[in-house]
């Protein structure tokens, strides 16, 4: 009997650590607009299943304890391209923070209150849920890479498997309002070339106006906008067949730069989670992809965790090769090498970014042109990309 009472006491104690005790006798109407575009512009580059399919909004008091935990699924529409969702909540007239999480199941977890209780430990007693959301998605089996179409894949740490697609659960996205300091946790960086998880600044316009909780003390009705930032990067491979014969592609093969974890929210100072692992992936077509003579075709769309690698390392390179009926496409070639603006020693593919690799195949030669852009309007060209020719 004593053991039962101890368990009940522990449950009640932990519940008090994450559940707010703010009175709800006086309420304010809060209209919350969550969008994949912070400035309200159209997401013209969104493809199928890249929008909001499920949404969670967690409302916290100024001490990072839960006031409300709202969740809905089935929001993606026929193509999974929903750009925004507006919800209305009745909240206590106090200081509040908002966390938005879209498509959490794409990462294999839930942020319902019961699951957050399992994450909680007494070492975070004075921070409510702040330290939990300062962590990384860290599954034993990484949720990404995923693809738009169905592939088999072979990595340098796994046997051939069937890769997941984004069709069911979409892409993970997070947003925040009134809690910028969640992005400034020191965390634990990785070794050489693993410092960066860019784009923490995408969560809000300026740090100062978003660091403090939103004060509802004198509010009766208020509108809140929360921009969502994708926690992954997108890689698109286009192939132009400049030969007189058809090109048959069996696989798209990438170098050892795929990482196995990502922070819920980008950190500043910028770094990747600790104990990161980088892996090589070959994506094998279930049915070989044919590119007719003198035509161009999009052959691969994939989604990866943010990554950074040393520019001088021969073990970790941004490379691509095509397994095909033309021998010249089979050798690995670097598609992206651009000195980092901050340290100059790493090359980074940040979260919420798109890198497009355009390949031109001649009989014994493959030309690769890559381009990196940020997934936020207006799209910005990263620049400094060189044309790469290899035999």
179-201 pLDDT, tens per residue?
Answer: 766 665 443 333 333 333 434 44
Higher pLDDT, 26 or 34: 34
Please tell me the distance from the alpha carbon of residue 80 to that of residue 51, in angstroms, as a whole number: 6
Please tell me the distance from the alpha carbon of residue 336 to that of residue 348, in angstroms, as a whole number: 9
Higher pLDDT, 123 or 60: 60
Record the pTM.
0.84
pLDDT of residue 33: 94
Q: Coil, strand, or helix at residue 126?
A: helix
pLDDT for 122 beyond 60: no
- Structure confidence by residue, pLDDT tens digits, 248-283: 999 999 998 998 889 888 776 556 787 788 889 999
Phi-psi region of 115 (alpha: psi -120 to 50; beta: other; left: phi over 0): alpha
Tokens of 7: 């368990």
pLDDT for 290 beyond 50: yes
> What is the average per-residue pLDDT within 56-82?
91
Please tell me the distance from the alpha carbon of residue 139 to that of residue 156, in angstroms, as a whole number: 18
Query: What are the extents of the domains in the chain?
Result: 2-141+168-230, 233-390
Tokens of 312: 């001088």
Please tell me the distance from the alpha carbon of residue 84 to that of residue 76, in angstroms, as a whole number: 10
Please tell me the distance from the alpha carbon of residue 281 to that of residue 263, in angstroms, as a whole number: 22
pLDDT of residue 335: 80
At 98, the pLDDT band (50, 70, 90 cuts) reads very high
pLDDT of residue 11: 43
At 127, the pLDDT band (50, 70, 90 cuts) reads low
Do the Cβ atoms of 345 and 310 come closer than 8 Å? Answer: yes
Give percent of the chain above pLDDT 90.
31
Domain range 233-390, CATH architecture: Sandwich (2.60)
**Percent of residues in the chain assigned helix, strand, coil, to nearest 5:** 15, 40, 45
pLDDT of residue 385: 36
Do the Cβ atoms of 369 and 361 come closer than 8 Å? Answer: no
pLDDT of residue 340: 41
Report which listed range, 164-173, 355-364, 371-380, is most confident.
164-173
> What is the average per-residue pLDDT within 155-161?
71
Cite the beta strand spans of 105-259 per DSSP E: 136-137, 146-147, 151-155, 158-162, 173-177, 214-215, 221-227, 229-230, 233-241, 247-259
Residue 121 has a CB neighbour count (10 Å cut-off) of 11
Q: What are phi and psi of 294, to 5 degrees?
A: 60, 30
At 6, the pLDDT band (50, 70, 90 cuts) reads very low
DSSP category for residue 381:
B
Higher pLDDT, 145 or 193: 145
Tokens of 68: 């409300």
pLDDT of residue 312: 61
Beta bridge partners of 23: none
Beta bridge partners of 155: 158, 281
Tokens of 175: 């947003």
Higher pLDDT, 369 or 253: 253
Q: What are phi and psi of 35, to 5 degrees?
A: -140, 150
């Amino acid at each position: 009997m004593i053991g039962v009472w101890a368990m009940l006491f522990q449950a009640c104690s932990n519940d008090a650590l994450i559940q707010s005790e703010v009175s709800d006798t006086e309420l304010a109407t809060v209209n919350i607009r969550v969008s994949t575009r912070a400035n309200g512009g159209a997401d013209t580059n969104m493809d199928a299943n890249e929008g909001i399919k499920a949404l969670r909004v967690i409302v916290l008091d100024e001490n990072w304890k839960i006031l409300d935990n709202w969740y809905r699924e089935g929001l993606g529409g026929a193509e999974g391209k929903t750009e925004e969702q507006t919800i209305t909540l009745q909240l206590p007239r106090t200081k509040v923070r908002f966390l938005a999480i879209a498509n959490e199941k794409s990462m294999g977890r839930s942020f319902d209150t019961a699951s957050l209780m399992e994450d909680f430990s007494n070492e975070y007693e004075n921070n409510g849920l702040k330290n939990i959301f300062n962590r990384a998605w860290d599954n034993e089996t990484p949720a990404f890479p995923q693809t738009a179409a169905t592939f088999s894949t072979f990595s340098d740490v796994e046997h051939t498997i069937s890769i997941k697609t984004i069709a069911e659960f979409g892409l993970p996205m997070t947003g925040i309002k009134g809690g910028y300091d969640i992005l400034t946790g020191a965390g634990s960086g990785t070794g050489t070339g693993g410092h960066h998880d860019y784009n923490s600044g995408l969560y809000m316009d300026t740090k100062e106006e978003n660091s403090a909780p939103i004060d509802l003390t004198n509010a009766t009705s208020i509108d809140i906008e929360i921009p969502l930032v994708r926690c992954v990067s997108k890689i698109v491979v286009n192939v132009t067949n400049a030969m007189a014969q058809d090109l048959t592609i069996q696989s798209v093969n990438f170098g050892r730069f795929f990482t196995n974890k990502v922070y819920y929210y980008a950190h500043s100072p910028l770094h990747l989670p600790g104990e990161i692992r980088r892996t090589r992936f070959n994506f094998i077509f279930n049915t070989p992809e044919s590119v007719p003579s003198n035509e161009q075709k999009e052959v691969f769309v994939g989604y990866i965790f943010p990554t950074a690698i040393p520019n001088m390392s021969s073990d970790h390179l941004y490379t691509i090769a095509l397994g095909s009926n033309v021998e010249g496409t089979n050798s690995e070639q670097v598609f992206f090498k651009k000195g980092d603006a901050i340290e100059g020693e790493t090359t980074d593919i940040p979260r919420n970014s798109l890198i497009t690799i355009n390949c031109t195949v001649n009989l014994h030669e493959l030309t690769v042109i890559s381009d990196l852009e940020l997934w936020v309007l207006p799209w910005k060209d990263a620049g400094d990309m060189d044309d790469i020719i290899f035999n």
